[in-house]
Amino acid sequence: MSSAAVIACRTLRDMTNTQLLALDPARLDQLVTEAVSDGKTANTQTMGSRLRHVKADKAPRLTQAGLALGCARVAVLDSQGWARRLLGEARLLAGDTDLGDVFDTTALVARIDQRPRVVDGRFAPDCCGVWTFQDECWVVCPKCGGAAVEADKVVHCTKCLYRAEYDGNSSTWERACSPWFLLPLLLTVSTSLGDVWAYNSRHLEQLRAYVAATLRDERNNVGRSWSSRLPAWMKAAKNRDTVLKALDRLGRVAAEAKLV
């Protein structure tokens, strides 16, 4: 670990919550950026957990955004999906302020948008839960049957301009439908083995890379990660061709939908 990273980790660790919250948000983020600059270490994981547990409800919105962003910087060492989620939170907390005006998010965004990771020839699936892909669900428009998007409790169709906001609290996660309006997914296809579906192109890309890989590195995948919960038939080598064909069909649907 470089000395700058060690010092930043130690500085953050030794601060009281009050001191952390009193920091200028940009300075706080700078410290976290330095602390994670060396990649994954036990220290940064501890720091991530520390940042997550700071009670910041009464702090200024930008400080809360800085904390969420710090968590995203730690999370991306393990999971692009988690980091995307936390970055979204930071953007919401920043409100009218553009996050990029206060914090340097370029490298983080680039890392989150990276293609599925291959490490030493083995596909390393993102260890996020499948629900993290549900931040943006590609769905069938309830009005015109075209391709629509449900995100942040709003469903919007770019074709017929249908738009609806959900004002309830009941949600459904990890099922083959959108979380709020329970709309059918655009990317879904039946095979003789079972249904193959994805929430959006990011999810589809991860699925395809997973199924196509003959070698998989799943050391990081424990508990509720999306790949640990795939049905056994989807993981079986003997079904690879059938599942890949289904995924490629979904790839064509995704390309035609032009939602990216």
Contact residues toward Zn ion (CB under 5 A) are 141, 143-144, 146, 157, 159-160, 162
Cβ nearer to Zn ion, comparing 93 with 177:
177
| Cα–Cα separations (whole angstroms), residue 233 to 131, 213, 238, 240 | 21, 15, 9, 9
Instruction: Please spell the DSSP secondary structure of 19-81, one letter per residue.
Output: HHHHS-HHHHHHHHHHHTTT---HHHHHHHHHHHT---TTS-HHHHHHHHHHHHHHHTTT-HH
CB of 4 to Zn ion, least distance (A): 52
CB of 145 to Zn ion, least distance (A): 7
- Helix (H) and strand (E) counts for the chain? 11, 8
CB of 201 to Zn ion, least distance (A): 19
Does an H or E element contain 197, and which? Answer: strand 195-198
CB of 254 to Zn ion, least distance (A): 17
Tokens representing residue 15 in the block: 């601060």
Cβ nearer to Zn ion, comparing 52 with 159:
159
| Cα–Cα separations (whole angstroms), residue 61 to 31, 69, 71, 233 | 19, 12, 15, 46
Does an H or E element contain 198, and which? Answer: strand 195-198
Cβ nearer to Zn ion, comparing 144 with 212:
144
3-state secondary structure of 189: strand
What is the number of other CB atoms lying within 10 angstroms of the CB of residue 7?
14
Question: Across 85-192, where does the E strand assignment appear?
Answer: 117-119, 122-124, 137-140, 147-151, 154-157, 163-165, 187-190
CB of 188 to Zn ion, least distance (A): 17
Residue pair 50/102 in contact by the 8 Å Cβ criterion: no
CB of 2 to Zn ion, least distance (A): 52
Cβ nearer to Zn ion, comparing 88 with 146:
146
CB of 157 to Zn ion, least distance (A): 3
Cβ nearer to Zn ion, comparing 86 with 141:
141
Cβ nearer to Zn ion, comparing 12 with 183:
183
DSSP state of 158: T
d(CA 189, CA 204): 12
Cβ nearer to Zn ion, comparing 154 with 215:
154
